[in-house]
Structure formats: structure tokens, C-alpha cells
Amino acid sequence: MRRYTQFYIDGQWTAPITPRTAEVINPATEEVSGEISLGSPADVDKAVAAARRAFASYGETSVKDRLDLLEAIQAEYIRREAELGEAIMIEMGAPTALANGFHTLLGKGHLGTAIEVLRAFKFEEQRGPTMIRKEPIGVCGLITPWNWPMNQTCVKIFPALAAGCTMILKPPQLAPYSAQILAEMIHAAGVPAGVFNMIQGQGSVIGAALSKHEDVDMISFTGSEPVGVQITKDAADTVKRVGLELGGKSAWIVLDDASLPANVAGATAGMMGNSGQTCSAGSRLLVPASRMAEVKKIAAEAANGVTVGDPTGNFAMGPVVSKSQYNIIQQYIEKGAAEGAELVAGGPGRPEGLDKGWYVKPTVFVGTNDMVIAREEIFGPVLVIIGYDDLDHAVAIANDSHFGLGGYVSGEDVDTCRAVSRRMRTGAIWVNGGFDFNAPFGGYKRSGNGREWGELGFHEYLEVKSVVGW
């Protein structure tokens, strides 16, 4: 049992002003795995005051000082990386190979990238008679989700620290353990008092208090579209900057060529990664309508080949994060059937032999782009296959969405893939796979605004000052 009942405020672990706790449930067993404290607006006031005081000095620190801090954190991260992986496995049900692999690798990668970018970043640039300065925006409220807890947390904290900002982190209530360990690392690395603060609790309470607070200069939020809309409204009265990375319903366009079987299989298995709980997942698979019979067989085999089970075992997919999330996914699966979508793999209920834990069958439908299961973000292992007549039709289907976060194009002709990618209205596109920590990440349309990752992620935390006549 883990018991994390103190917050990190002004350089020390401190009890909440009004004691209140909540249980944390292990999604693989449905049993209580620990307890956390729930913060209040009074705790937010205390943390914001500490961050505001600290900004007066930390905002003026040298690049070397910030590099020294980030490198000290990096040493702590490497030392305790296995603890992070175990925490992620318990809190959100990621299989141990994934929790101790890509989950922790993402956090470490964003930290290393922040160090590399900071070494070369130009905070001043002379243009004619004007000096353009990039200065830290100030006190930041960072609100993070549970699905990739280290990725989404580290991609905010480390660029903010590198830019010279101070901050208050509000980790996800469903996955609080890894954030606790990360806070311990940052403390052990010697972060100055008040620069980094962390309050656990409910987003509707802590997130709202941060968004409305007049001494918070910026909110960076990753999560659902409705919450992002509410944060924007809450922040409007104080005209603070709001960075949003929201939902997605990303299209994966597979070209009509000899590589189609491998690409369909890869896209189907990829959708099931992290139990489908990825905002940029390719949840709409667009394939040539003329090859639909072949595609259905390949996708069914790929989905049925995804092993599901206890995260401590050798399985590809664990549970989804909570009973509530499980129920939502089941409702979407039932909705797909009611809409007339053809079920080619998976379906409602738990996989055979799993009677406890929030496990979902890897599910594949064939449907049309006007169905609810193709319009709304399900956030579970549910793939919708849609046929296209030609590439113009494929692009039209891909762009016919309120979202625009991720996109994928797979095929043998790279020039054609590139041409298709240029026409897709989405913030990040992967052509035949690939990965890059320096690639800006963020959305078009209702998928949000602003960009994270790499150098452009620094700009989220900087103001631009023009000094004319320098």
C-alpha cells in the first residue's frame, strides 16, 4: 500500500491545509493500491505564493544554473527509473515491459531533449536596431493526464524549468504515484524552494483554482476537449496564456500497394498499444475499399493476436485505467453495433478468462465516417476501418473530423505519402513510422493549440520582448 498524503510546496513536504484523502485503485485487480491527499484552493494559494516569490530569482538564473539543475534531475531519473516503471504499472495498468520501456523512456527523453535544446537556445537575438529577448512567462500551472503519465508531465516540467519559469504541477488523480516519485527526484536534485510545487487532487478543484488564479501566468493542460474548454473559460478573466493538448480521432491512411498487408496489421496492433489510451492513436484506419475483404481478415488476425492480461505478466495489453473508463468504452462498442458497423474482432465484455480487472477486448469495426464510433474519441482499444475510393476521397475522410491531433500515412511510394501528408489538417503526421523527440506535437481544430516537444516546446513558456534602439 502506498500512502502519499503530503504535497510538495516551497521546497518541503507539507500536509494539506484541509485533510482529505482518496483511495487509488489498481485497474488490474480492482483493489485499493494506495491513498493520496486531495488538495483545496487554499493549498493552491499557498503553492502559487511560493512560486511567485521564487520566480523573482529563478527567472534571472543563468543558463548554466538551469543546466546544472536539469542534469542533476537527469541523474536522479536514471537512478530511480525502475521505481517509476513499477509505479506506472500499478497506477494505470501498463504491462511491465511497456511501463519500464516506452513509458519511462519518454520522460527521460524529454529531459535529455530539454538539456540539449537549452544548451543552444538563443534567448536574445539582434535584428537591426532591436534586441528581441525571450523571457520566462512566470508562474505556470501544469495539469497532466493519466494515460502517459511521465510523457505528459515531463514534456511540461522540463521545458518550463529550462525557460526559467516556476510552476505548480497537478498530476492525474487516477495515476498519482509516478508524479510523486518524480517530485522526490526533483527535490533530491536541489531545485530551489518554490520553483517546483506539486498538489495532488481533483482536476475540478485544483485545475479550476489554478486556471482562475490571478498570480498564475500560464496554464498548460493535456486532457479532454470539454475540460480544455472549461479551463479556457476559467482563465479568460485573467487573460493568461492557455496551452491545450486535447483529444484526437486520428486517421491512418494506408496506400493501395504491396505493403498494405503489413501496414494494416501494424496499424491494428498499434491501435491496441497502451490499451488504446493514446490521444494521437490512429483510431480511424482508411483503406482502399476495393481491398476491404482482405483488410478485414488481416485486421481481425492482428487484433486477435494481441494478448491481454495481468500487467506483471508477458502480455501486450493490460487493463484500461478505471471502471468508469471501461464502462464508457463498452457503451461505444454497443453503440457501434447499434449503428450497423460490422464487428470483425473483439466486442463487448472482458476477454475470455479475465473475470476481474478492467480489461477490454481488442475490438475492430468496419464502418463509415458518419458513425459515432468514427466521430468521437473512445480512448480505448477500438479501431474503426473505413474504405476510400481514391486518395482524394481518403484525404477528405481524414479531414472530416472536429479533431486534428495526429495522422499516419503508410505506403511504398514515399513521394505519394508526403503529398498526402501535406493535405491532412492535423498537427503531427507519421509517414511510415518514425520517432523524433524534437518534432513539435500539438493539434489543429478542437485538438488544442500550442506545441510541445523539442525547441518549439520552449516557446510555450516564454514571452517575447522587443527592446528598440538597443
Task: Give me the active site residues, please.
Answer: 245
User: What distances in angstroms separate CA 343 from CA 16, 252, 305, 365, 436, one per listed residue?
Assistant: 49, 19, 16, 5, 35
The residue type at 242: V
Amino acid identity of 124? E
**Residue 154 near residue 38, CB atoms below 8 Å:** no
Q: Locate 389 and state its grid cell.
A: 475510393
Secondary structure of residue 402 in the 3-state scheme: coil
Q: Please name the helix (run of DSSP H) or strand (run of DSSP E) that holds residue 51, with its range, or none.
A: helix 41-58
Beta-carbon contacts of 31 under 8 Å, excluding residues fewer than 6 positions away, are 25
d(CA 107, CA 111): 6
**Spatial separation of the C-alpha atoms in residues 436 and 329, rounded to whole Å:** 31
Q: Answer yes or no: are the C-beta atoms of 250 and 282 closer than 8 Å.
A: yes
Query: Residue 246 phi/psi, 5° resolution?
Result: -110, -150
Backbone angles phi, psi at 3, to 5 degrees: -135, 105
User: How many C-beta atoms lie closer than 10 Å to residue 316's C-beta?
Assistant: 17
